[in-house]
Amino acid sequence: MKKSFTIIQDTREKRPLLFPKHLVLWNDAYPPGKKKTQTVQIHVIKEQLETGDYQLQEDPMGTVIERKGSLSELSKNCITKDNKRFLSALDRLAEARNPILMAEGTPTNFLRPQRYVEKPEIVLDCLLKFLQERKIQLLLMPTGARCHRQAFSDWCARLLINGYRWTK
């Protein structure tokens, strides 16, 4: 297996993830019960991406991750007049082999009214409709604490790398 991978991060990311320099992965040449692992290096480069916020350089339209930072951001994307741009971005994301929308927050956060989002259930239902129509996977990731954000970054790296490893 390849010993290093390069993650492409979109230059327009406002709050970029901080990926680990190394990642310990299951060595899938062995059954899981053998508990064999391998360490890979991760490099991050910044480029303007046409689709998503994170892609693997080795597999550009394999697993593609679009990150959204909050319920407020999703509200602006889903239920305003400007949602055509968001829907266009989702259409491009849906062209990936494994499209993922990762939203920062927990189910509790996404159901609690906020200052600019009085009816979060409408935002959530619209988002789910848009994603299901396009067969895009939704993952919610808590990022309130620094350790949560680090785990979120690790999770993204695993999705990108394993999406490539297991489809070759």
Which of 108, 94, 76 has the alpha carbon at shortest distance from 138? Answer: 94
Please give the model's pTM, rounded to 2 decimal places: 0.92
Which of 159, 147, 152, 132 has the alpha carbon at shortest distance from 68? Answer: 152
Q: Residues 12, 14, 16, CA angle at the centre, nearest 5°?
A: 95
Which of 93, 102, 103, 101 has the alpha carbon at shortest distance from 51? Answer: 93
With a cut of 90, say whether residue 141 has pLDDT above it: no
CA–CA separation, 55 and 12 (whole Å): 14
| pLDDT 10s digits, 35-76 | 999 999 999 999 999 999 999 999 999 999 999 988 888 888
| pLDDT 10s digits, 85-130 | 999 999 999 999 999 999 988 888 888 888 878 888 998 999 999 9
Which of 167, 165, 89, 168 has the alpha carbon at shortest distance from 127? Answer: 89
Domains (ranges, CATH) in the chain? 4-165 (3.40.50.10130)
Task: Write down the pLDDT at residue 80.
Answer: 85
With a cut of 70, say whether residue 162 has pLDDT above it: yes
- Pair 64, 100: CB distance under 8 Å: yes
